[in-house]
Structure 1
């Protein structure tokens, strides 16, 4: 028998998954184009093309290259990071409700970001570079507390306890954050209010450069480790029998999920539900294999946040609605739907 033989069913499945990936690439590209043309000062598609090739006016170049393009790229990177982070957490915990926002990781990162911007100028490049690192530290501390409180020496790791602990800790951190905002100046309070609503505030090339290394290095690494997530999905006992080093693999993957979520939160504010919706939707379309779920989840997450930000900029011009609110309008009902259909295992 030919060891390279691929069954017709497998070929059909791969072809279907390829078409799904191509479809979301097209969706992402289309939303990219629409977003470049959307804003209080509208640029027509022809004006965008002329500006890109260097024939636009100084005003058009300012709008496109200095204001809109960095924000568009940030939205895509943030969506991809949150989606892959959620994909990792769901795979590790075998729980479709796991998400960096719901588990409190975003809240922990946000608390540190709030303290950071209260004392540091956010447009200074050195500060911009340090901001994702500070957010990751806050996210890491929160994740450590959640993991420690949900781990039982006798029963081991409990996905149900992890979820409940994360929700409780997120509520506590959010309360502390609100209390601390009372000590801020009016300008700082306004910034934090927009940040907590999920406004993409880091819309400059400095923030793109600060966030890009986390995405470019970590998402491909997670994709290479997708077989580990497949094994962890089978349960600890079976995973150990298949030769997986559960504690080490889980620690590494958890650290990556925390870094991705923390770095995204540092420039996008409290955008929730992306890490919940994107992986769950992708699994329903392509199946449970993380080799396929991870890259398509990144595409869906980037598309989702970019569309939400574009709608927020377009809906009530000249003002705007933070992307996090637009995402929540869609994500909250979907979360309730999942909660009603999902049996949370202990």
Structure 2
């Protein structure tokens, strides 16, 4: 049973994060290469703006803001699931190679497969999922032993090894490609938010609508899996089946996100840790906080990055890495 004081604290944190996200959205709508006056935001939102104001807001700013929040939520939830099922606080889809697997699949698809403009937006998450699930399966296979089950330390080491190997493979793949396509892949690797049109939101949203409630439904199972395997088995959990299902969920979330935002790491590492520090380690409590926190963190990183240098700014993935890399080293030393 969840203590009423803790439940009340969670509600306060969730409301605070929603307000913080809303404030960042308002700030982000007014900032940019084509500035939009804040006193014109409400009139423009309700159809009273000029053609330029409506174009900047509805065709440039809002799609980017929405896709960034959704992608941050997906990455944070993916990291929360991975940390729970692997019992490793350093697990993150970007660090252990899942994002790299999706990236290689997307690069091969983009460079060498004839693209249908009408279905490209909706096909990309599926391609990323195929690459990511294959990578995750190999990482799991190399990290698992019959005697001790899934080894959390080996999982991170194997994942980092796969991430480096796949990054090298990415360089080989793009070395002989056309310059225009190479530019796109390079921006993808840097974590540049590129899927900034409404169709990309339509492509990403169903994954979250289905998988976020599913992950919350599996919160008790993740609580059991985060303990020792013998405890989970004693509680009646089919460890192998549940791990595979939840691993597939985490991979799908990460692949759908990076297919439109590029290779962004550390959101899935930081958001769950900060959420646990605030509301405790139970998945029912910290997962909703982590999801909202991930959306806000990526939105904040993108808002700062795209306005700090004119005209293209700094990719969100690099801005997140400025914070996430030292945080990863801190956790590595602590654990």
Q: TM-score category by the smaller chain? A: over 0.9
**Structure 2 contact 275–290 (Cα < 8 Å) conserved:** yes
Give the deviation of 1:326 after TM superposition.
Answer: 0.2
List structure 1 segments (4+ residues) > 6 angstroms apart after TM superposition: none
Alignment of 1:137-156 (within 5 A): 137-156=130-149
Q: Deviations over 1:116-173 (max 9, x none)?
A: 2224577823111000000000000000100111111222211111111101011000
| 2:168 corresponds to which of 164, 168, 175 | 175
The 1-side partners of 2:61 and 2:116 are apart by 17
Structure 1 stretches lacking a partner, 5+ long: 1-5
Structure 2: runs of 5 or more not aligned: none
- Separation in structure 2 between the aligned mates of residue 156 and residue 318 of structure 1, nearest angstrom: 51
8 Å contact from structure 2 (residues 7, 285) kept in 1: no
Number of the residue aligned with 1:32: 25
Give 1:231 shift.
0.8
Closer, same or farther: CA 279–139 of 1 in aligned 2, 3 Å: same
Residue pairs, 1:290-309, within 5 angstroms: 290-309=283-302
Residue pair 1:125, 1:206 contacting (<8 A) in 2 also: no
- 1:34 Cα deviation after fit: 0.9
What residue is the counterpart of 1:79 in the other structure?
A: 72
SS in 1 for 2:177: coil
Q: If the length of structure 2 is used for normalisation, what is the TM-score?
A: 0.97
Deviation at 1:11, TM superposition (A): 2.1
Counterpart residue number, 1:3: none
Alignment of 1:128 with 2:121, yes or no, is yes
Distance 2:63 2:112 in 1: 25
Number of aligned pairs? 335
Residue matched to 1:12: 5
Q: Which moved more, 1:122-131 or 1:87-96?
A: 122-131
Match of 1:339 among 319, 325, 332: 332
Alpha-carbon separation, structure 2, partners of 1:86 and 1:11: 27
Aligned 8 A contact 2:97 2:135 in 1:
yes
Q: Is 1:249 matched up with 2:242?
A: yes
Deviation, 1:37, is: 0.9
Quote the residue 1:100 is aligned against. 93
1:311 to 288, 304, 313: 304
